[in-house]
Structure 1
Amino acid sequence: MKILITGGAGFIGSHLVDRLMLHGHEVRVLDDLSAGSTENIERWLDNERFEFVRGDMRDPDVSEEAVEGMEAVFHLAANPEVRIGSQSPELLYETNVGVTHNLLEAVKGSDVKYLVFTSSSTIYGEADVIPTPEDYAPLEPISVYGGAKLAAEALISGYAHTFGFRALIFRLANIIGERSNHGVIYDFINKLRKNPEELEILGDGTQRKSYLHVSDTVEGMLHIFEHFRGSDKTVDFYNLGNDDWVTVLEIAEIVSNEMGLSPEFNFTGGVDGGRGWKGDVKFMRLDIKKAKNTGWRPGLSSYGAVSRTVRELL
């Protein structure tokens, strides 16, 4: 297939590029390099099946040119930082909702048959049901980031039903692994490199969440995409996560052990009952039965994914 990946020089996007190129597809990457790097896709830059386009999707013309000749679009371009929502909500709107709207306007007049979107577990907010299934309601995000992802989901669904393309939406748990440049593991490693004697931990350390390694994420996305193509759904939703979960304190211990350190843990206490920041969902584990029913399984547990990620980042 001819596939466009927005945000394809970023963390998850570049791993998706690797897998699609190895499978023989023609891949075009659109990225403004605000969060990504050409180093992540360097191995493909001279390949005749690969094209890199640097562009800011806040300009509608950029998306219109990028979708030309494409059969499928994997839309991963977004600001990945949940915490920025309390400081710059307008930026999250521009880089999550605004760019999605521009892309949809381009897709509706093109030959694109499939749009795949990476949404987030944050759209569920503080779910009363854990593990949380795809049909959980009401959806009540507690962060601007989660609200922006939910708004993008709604736009995609509306456009797909109206303009005749099909859309697959993945609600992702915390995705970790090589090339990640934000998140709790990345932060802990950098803090301990600066001061091996102590580690500041945002919140009270009891926050408990599910983690999925990026290799399992990409495998799941492509496996379920093929399953979706064989279905009759116009729009479908899948959680991608893990069956277990770990606390922030346990992650701190894993990182410290992998680095051969025994730092003193200093908890900030956090906000709103021990959260790391305003809008931080304290407990998150997704129900992944629907994804597993397609034949996909995560290869690494949350614990295994955290340990492997620490070694990769080190």
Structure 2
Amino acid sequence: MTLLTFRFAPSPNGDLHLGHAYSALLNQKLANTSDGRLLLRIEDIDTTRCTPQFEAGVLADLKWLGLGWEEPLRRQSEHFAEYKAVLDRLIREELVYPAFMSRGEIRAFITDCEKRGRDWPRDPDGVPLYPPTDKALPMRERKRRIDDNQPFAWRLDVGAALAHVGKDLAWAEFSDETLSATRSVGARPRDWGDVIVARRDIPTSYHLAVVMDDALQGVSHVVRGQDLFSATGVQRLLQELLGLPQPAYFHHRLILGPDGRKLSKSLGDSGLAALRGAGASPDDIRRMVGL
């Protein structure tokens, strides 16, 4: 019988807060009740914002909470060569393209379109979709700009990717924390436009790294926050393109701050280190997050 495998995957770019605690403890609870495995993955592809000091704080907070995980933990920054191999495959298959527009150029393009009466589409997070200009560049011009060392990112050609897959996509979503029933959710990767899958200096992005890591680590159940629900559509597309197994998903409720907004690592009053320093116990944290 295959063991169910869960994972908690924080980014060490700040202190953990109550929302992270809830997600970590829920993954641990589900792994324990199913006699499964719990893995810890450090998602540190952003080598500028992610630091060893923040990672040490993350590990200290998780150990204080009583979280246990299988060793060794996986650090994404140690696996760039693996991500690059997959990126090179997407480049060869012409499913990605180099995108050169700066943020200012994107804003100017969209402003011009809106001045002419055209509403520009936005992704589920409210960010304007990337304009189609670079996708139409001839191969010779793309190569010239890359050789000239112009900054760029690799973006997924979502239209070409969906044509390559050739079928509608969906995923199995659990209905509650008991994981007793699932429903099928239709994936909508077009809602995100041509997302970034890698940068010139970092051969991956969140979307590409997470689907590869979940497959390589044998993750069967992805339990994470509701804020990532829509992004699952992009990840399902990448799984199909790369022939990766599809985990089951549960996007859990978010722990909100006093103002009703999603917690942020910049909100010190909900940080685990601050709460511990104020005298809170691990049991207090469990009560605060409803576990």
TM-score by length of 1: 0.28
For the pair shown, the structure with the greater C-alpha radius of gyration is: 2
Q: Which has the higher relative contact order, 1 or 2, with Cα contacts under 8 A spaced 6 or more apart?
A: 2
